[in-house]
A and B are shown apart, each in its own frame.
Chain A
């Protein structure tokens, strides 16, 4: 089992460019989450999904969109990147609301 995987691992964008981060899990988990981690701020929830075809906003959703077309994949999109979106992005998944979340290795994004 690969667990939770994320692509790409690193990316540099210019302001205004768009990109999509892909998260995949092979554990048949219903719930998937996107977080960003900034120095001194822990992890903050961007968007999450409670099942295939569903998405919901987290704490810091502005400037991001998500889609969950297949149960195993959760995509995070940046339509027009801004320097404030420079961060490390983590995807996570869990079986249900009673269980711990498993995290992917992260994507380091720099927006110039």
Chain B
């Protein structure tokens, strides 16, 4: 059975801290690993990682995929209260475009 597991499930940090969120996957027909940020409503897309070892960056956020270890990390540096959200990772199937999501990591950034 395909599965995606995230850790930790929740995290509380203070502004300025650096956080690392983890995602591991066991899926057949794996194509890519995606990260989404979910605040009050819809998940919004952050990154798609297809090739191992290549870091994707957007401002203070970065992510990297390790296909050998079947895992990915999402780093957030110099956290701000606006980073408080649920961070979801998902594996993308090569056949159907289906996403299998992890449980999500709830990040709270305190002032």
B9 A100 Cβ-Cβ under 8 A: no
Nearest A residue (CB) for B4: A42
Overall SS of chain B's interface = strand
> In the complex, A96 Cα to B6 Cα: how many Å?
26
Q: Which size class do B's interface residues fall under?
A: 20 to 34
Residue A94 CB within 8 A of the other chain: yes
Residue B88 CB within 8 A of the other chain: yes
Residue B77 CB within 8 A of the other chain: no
B31 A90 Cβ-Cβ under 8 A: no
A56 B31 Cβ-Cβ under 8 A: no
Identify which of A41, A97, A106 contacts B92 (C-beta below 8 A).
A97
- 9 closest A-B pairs (Cβ-Cβ)? A97-B97, A42-B101, A103-B42, A43-B101, A100-B45, A42-B103, A105-B41, A103-B43, A31-B97
Interface residues of A (CB under 8 A from B): 4, 31, 33, 35, 40-45, 48, 50, 56, 58-59, 90, 92, 94, 96-106
